Amino acid sequence: MTGEFIQPSDVAELTGLSLAALAQLRYRGKGPRFYKPTPHKVLYKRVEVIAWLEASAQTRTEAFA
């Protein structure tokens, strides 16, 4: 399904990040786009998480200024 919504636990498994790290990324506005249909529910779209991961691809380890 193209617009499949997944839970933060699924994102953690997919990315190798902890749930706490995902929460910090949401707080800082640095992670993949997320959805909050209710105040206590957080969802992600699988395709957007994968796109976010792919956008982070690097060809060298040198830090960018």
> What's the pTM?
0.83
Q: What is the pLDDT of residues 23-35, one digit of tens each?
A: 999 999 999 999 9
Burial class (CB in 10 A: 0-12, 13-18, 19+), 56: exposed
What's the number of domains the chain is made of?
A: 1
Percent of the chain with pLDDT over 90: 80
Instruction: Tell me the C-alpha distance between 61 and 12, whole Å.
Output: 24
CA–CA dist 12, 7 (Å, integer): 9
Q: Considering the domain boundaries, does residue 12 fall inside one?
A: yes
pLDDT reading at 1 higher than 50: no
Residue 62 lies in a domain: no
- The pLDDT of 33-60, averaged and rounded, is 95
The answer to the question of residue 26 being in a domain is: yes
What's the mean pLDDT when you consider all of the chain? 92
Residue 52 has pLDDT above 60, yes or no: yes
